[in-house]
Structure 1
Amino acid sequence: MTDPQVALAMLGIFILLVFLGFPIAFTLMALGIFFGYYAYFDPNRMWRSFNRLGEDADTWTSVTTWIDGFFNNRIFDLFINQTYTVMSNEVLTAVPLFLFMGYIVERANIVDRLFSTLNIAAKNLPGSMGVAALITCALFATATGIVGAVVTLMGLLALPAMLKARYDTSFASGIICAGGTLGILIPPSIMLIVYAASSGVSIVRLYAGALLPGLLLVGLYLVYVIGRSILQPSIAPKPTKEEVPDVPFFQLAWMLFTSFFPLAFLILAVLGSILFGLATPTEAASIGALGGMVLAIAYRAMTFQRLRESVYLTVRTTAMVCWLFVGSYTFSSVFSYLGGEHLISEFVQSLDLTPLQFLLLAQLIIFLLGWPLEWSEIIIIFVPIFLPLLPLFGIDPLFFGILVALNLQTSFLTPPMAMSAYYLKGIAPPQVQLMQIFKGVMPFLFMVFVSMALIYIFPELVFHLPQVFYGR
């Protein structure tokens, strides 16, 4: 076998092992080191170590010389260097801080108060409870960036309330599932930080570029919820005064001031400090983490147990992301050294694709990968395969990253592997069936495809704000 064929075999074995359920990060590291030993094997270096072994050498010297000969391979140096590179990456430093902010906010008992307030404020709108749930999901998902946490918490809080208000089960379930995924797109998004570390694109430009597409998707969701509530009033009945009481204006203003504005101000402060160049993403994430703790204290929800849980979950998730990076960097370095990257590039060029066709093909592959894999694994492992091909088609990696972020919404919404649906099913009342949840998410899945089409047609939705803030 030639080296490029070995590289393809390496990629095939990895995909097979992933489907068999092996841990992805350690599978990447193991395959990277195993095939890297073959790729970087230098017989002369090994025999030079063995030749130091004399005939009268003692047993201990013999053993250590053989060990030195075995480890005298550059793959081990590469693995150590890649680990150090990941751990010293300044972009990734923001990940644990944003995660900590999210976990603290999740435990600060903000969401129930926020949903109740928005439900009262929007009571005159068609589908008012759905609108309140969607806005709460969007705001909470933006603050946390953790899809499972948002869907689970909102499923416990908003779904029973909507079902009690005689909302259609599929309609209510779709709102919560779709709203819970928005945090991986709307800044400050952890997914965009990971993409920035993988691609080398400026994180501040990514945040600026993702803002309008994120708001566009939220707008499409709201249009669908309100529009369908107007066309089919039976799926979202108008709430009675017993379900949503009348509240005086000043009391409602105070409720908004104490529930909606603190969390919105925290998000805007973090995002604004990044976009306007007042702080780096890491510094802004530090402010956000501190602000999350202040909110928890202000709402009298900060306890040592909750703080300990937040720290533990932050460390666990950060370790997963960092080890994925270590494994991915090692794997991709060996894959590229063996010629696999060049072979894929030649194959794609031989297809004679237009830039639009290449984008559609890449997004289709990422869409299919979203069924068995998490977004972190797709961004860290597979997206870097496409990045070297972007200059061949004249595609800006910023534009490509926003499309990927939109596309990854579908990985949580597409049956039969719609993870947000399974999160919701795990905590939903027994009468809520999985097929009802699948039925509810399908219109929102269509909205994601509409937003991607609009981005294709109007790329200025991505490029306008980065150009306004930072120039070309």
Structure 2
Amino acid sequence: MSYDMIALTMFSTMMLMLMTGQRVFGAIGFVATAAGLMLWGVGGEDIPFTAAMKLMKWYPLLTLPMFIFMGYVMSESRIADDLYRMFHVWMGPVRGGLAIGTIALMVLISAMNGLSVAGMAIGATIALPELLRRGYDKIMVTGVIQAGSSLGILVPPSVVLVLYAMIARQPVGQLWLAGVFPGLMMAGLFALYIYLRCLVQPGLGPAMDREEREAITMAEKLRLLRAGILPIVIFLVMMVPFVKGWTSLVESSAVGASASFLAAVIKGRMTREVFETSVRQTLGISCMFMWIILAAMAFGAIFDGLGAVKSIENLFTEKLGLSPWMILILMQLSFIVMGTFLDDTAMLVIVAPLYVPLVGELGFDLIWYGVLYTITTQIAYMTPPFGYNLFLMRAMAPPEISMRDIYRSIIPFVLVMVLALAIVMIFPQIALWLPEYIYGK
């Protein structure tokens, strides 16, 4: 059997195992180890074992539990409630203002947590009931919550970008900085769409009534503003020393985790229950990511040993005659298809051994491609019939919001995401300017 057929057999076997409901790390790790043993005999297990040792020696891996812990402390201690109240008071007088404030809330939640599911949980439990109570259109606000929560995997400190950095062997700091402007641009496009839509159809997002606005004193507004600034201060305390080069990535993650813990203690919200829940959730998610990364690196080592990447590049460029840009677009479309039945981490570890080296061979920047991958994953999260965010929304939404409403709600926001993806593809400097400016110095 040729190496090309072996690579195809590995990939198809892995996909078949995933479609039958096997654990992601189990399917990937089993195929990698079995292929190594069958190809190279008893010594074949050394290849995935060596990849595992590389992972265990990768010091920046310590950032994962730190950032996850920081996010859970901030959400479990209800600091997000203060944020939403702040946006409610300051942006309520504008048509659609509370929905725009929800997008801003999601950006800040993303900067605290780096996981999409945290934004979804907070938005569905805090923002959605309030938006519905104030007469906002249920279809529009359902889309707002889903779109806003997707920013968690693009805005730093994105855990997904940390995983991409590990697998693609790219600097985490540069990837985070590369995600800043695209993430803010996408949030701005969401807010612009909401504002223009409510301008044309005022009934979709009514402004706060005059009596309620007058009942809120300026002292109350300033108090809420101070409460809302706290997460921003924590983010700056963590990120500024890292960007300036005063701390390493791991040290900055420890600073962020310590700052969030201290903030919860000062506000009197660090109870035993909050601490225990945060630690348990952190341990569970960190172990899940560790197993998946471990399996992905083992699979990638076998794939590299077969020379599969070079074979696929020759197939696309020489036999099919596709240009690098056509290949890149096909790769992005495949992410959207896979996103109908896989989450972002699974998509990354399945195709990273194939796509990441191929992108480099085609002459594209791997930092830029990390941003493209993340945006495409966001789109895949919200694409029917089995988008990951669609079912999370169904699980958390009140009974009056049907699955049909959820499907309808994401159409305009998916179109906005596609526009954002096209803009970043056409103008790569949107993603690359900030890391080049910071690290160029």
Match of residue 290 from structure 1? 258
- The equivalent position to 2:279 in structure 1, one of 289, 311, 333, is 311
After superposition, the C-alpha distances for 1:246-272 in whole angstroms (9 at most, x for unaligned) are: 3222331121102x1000111122222
Native 8 Å contact 1:142 1:182 kept in 2: no
Q: What residue number does 1:143 align with?
A: 112
Identity of aligned residues (%): 25
When structure 1 is superposed on structure 2, of 25-34 and 164-173 the one drifting more is 25-34
Amino acid at match of 2:276: R
Q: Aligned equivalents of 1:25 and 1:392: distance in 2?
A: 27
Which residue is 2:310 aligned to? 342
| Matching residue's letter, 2:382 | L
| Aligned twin of 2:288 | 320
Partner in structure 2 of residue 445 of structure 1? 414
Which residues in structure 2 correspond to 1:62-73 (within 5 Å)? 73=42
Equivalent-residue separation in structure 2 for 1:285 and 1:245 (angstroms): 42
Other-structure match for 1:82:
51
Question: What is the CA distance between 1:421 and its match in structure 2?
Answer: 2.4
Greater CA drift, 27-36 or 378-387: 378-387
Q: For residues 242 and 186 of structure 2, what CA distance do their matches in structure 1 show?
A: 22
Structure 1 residue 176, shift from structure 2 partner: 0.7
**Which position in structure 1 is the counterpart of 2:237?**
269
- Name the CA distance, whole Å, in 1 between partners of 2:429 and 2:32: 40
Q: Distance in 2 between matches of 1:130 and 1:219?
A: 12
Match of 1:232 among 201, 212, 217: 201
Residue equivalent to 1:24 = 24
Question: Is 245-254 or 399-408 further displaced after alignment?
Answer: 245-254
**Distance verdict in 2 for CA 1:183–1:245, change over 3 Å:** farther
Per-residue deviation at 1:358? 2.1
Q: State the partner residue of 1:59.
A: none
Query: CA separation in 2, counterparts of 1:334 and 1:356?
Result: 27
CA distance in 2: counterparts of 1:294 and 1:231, whole angstroms: 45
1:402, 1:462 → 2: CA distance?
7
Cα gap change, 1:14 to 1:243, in 2 (>3 Å): farther
1:68 matched residue in structure 2: none
Instruction: State the shift of 1:245 in Å.
Output: 5.6
Once the two structures are TM-superposed, the CA of residue 244 in structure 1 deviates from its matched residue by 5.5
Cα gap change, 1:416 to 1:299, in 2 (>3 Å): farther
Equivalent residue of 2:94, what SS? Answer: coil
Retained in 2: the 8 A contact 1:39–1:337? Answer: no
Of 372, 381, 385 in structure 1, the residue corresponding to residue 354 of structure 2 is 385
TM-score (norm 2): 0.96
Aligned to 2:84: 115
* Paired residues of 1:39 and 1:338 also in contact (CA < 8 A): no
Using the alignment, how far apart are the partners of 2:110 and 2:382 within structure 1? Answer: 15
Q: Give deviations 1:182-218, integer Å, cap 9, x for gaps.
A: 1100111111111111111111211221111111001
> Alignment length, in residue pairs?
440
Please tell me whether residue 423 in structure 1 is matched to residue 388 in structure 2.
no
- The answer to whether the 8 Å contact 1:98/1:289 transfers is yes
1:266-315 superposed Cα distances (whole Å, 9 cap, x missing partner): 11222222222222221111011001111211222211222122111111
Q: Which runs of 4+ in 1 moved over 6 A?
A: none
| 1:72-92 C-alpha deviation (Å, 9 max, x unpaired) | x12333333222221221222
| Residue of structure 1 in register with 2:38 after alignment | 38
d(CA) in 2 for partners of 1:36, 1:248: 69
What SS does the aligned partner of 2:33 have? helix
Higher helix share: 2
Instruction: Give, in whole Å, the separation in 2 of the partners of 1:185 and 1:117.
Output: 24
* Structure 1 residue identity aligned to 2:17: L
Which amino acid letter does the alignment assign opposite residue 161 of structure 1? E
Q: In 1, distance between residues paired with 2:407 and 2:241?
A: 39
Q: What is the CA deviation profile of residues 143-165 of structure 1, one whole-angstrom value per residue up to 9, with x for unaligned ones?
A: 11222222122211111111111
Q: What is the rounded CA distance, in whole Å, between the counterparts of 2:276 and 2:362 in structure 1?
A: 48
**1:140 is matched by which residue type in structure 2?**
I
Under a length normalisation based on structure 1, what TM-score does the superposition of the two structures give? 0.89
- The answer to whether the 8 Å contact 2:317/2:323 transfers is no
Secondary structure in structure 1 of the residue aligned to 2:340: coil
Distance 1:325 1:111 in 2: 30
Shifted more, 451-460 versus 174-183: the winner is 451-460
Contact 1:108 1:302 in 2 (8 A): yes
Q: Which amino acid aligns with 1:389?
A: L
Matching residue's letter, 1:160 = P
Deviations 1:378-415 (A, max 9, x none): 22231231122223322111111111111111122111
1:100 & 1:245 partners in 2: Cα distance?
Answer: 40
Unaligned regions of 5+ residues in structure 1, if any? 42-72
Matched position secondary structure for 2:131: helix
Give the aligned residue type for 1:18: L
- For the pair 1:206 / 2:175, whether they are aligned, the reply is yes
User: 1:353, CA displacement in angstroms?
Assistant: 2.4
Distance in 2, matches of 1:244 and 1:146, equals 34
| AA at the equivalent of 2:4 | P
Opposite residue 290 of structure 2, the aligned amino acid is C
1:163–1:169 CA contact under 8 A, matched in 2:
yes
CA contact (8 A) 1:39 1:334 kept: no
Find the aligned partners of 1:223 and 1:81 in 2 and give their Cα distance: 49
Alpha-carbon distance in 1 for matches of 2:112, 2:126: 17
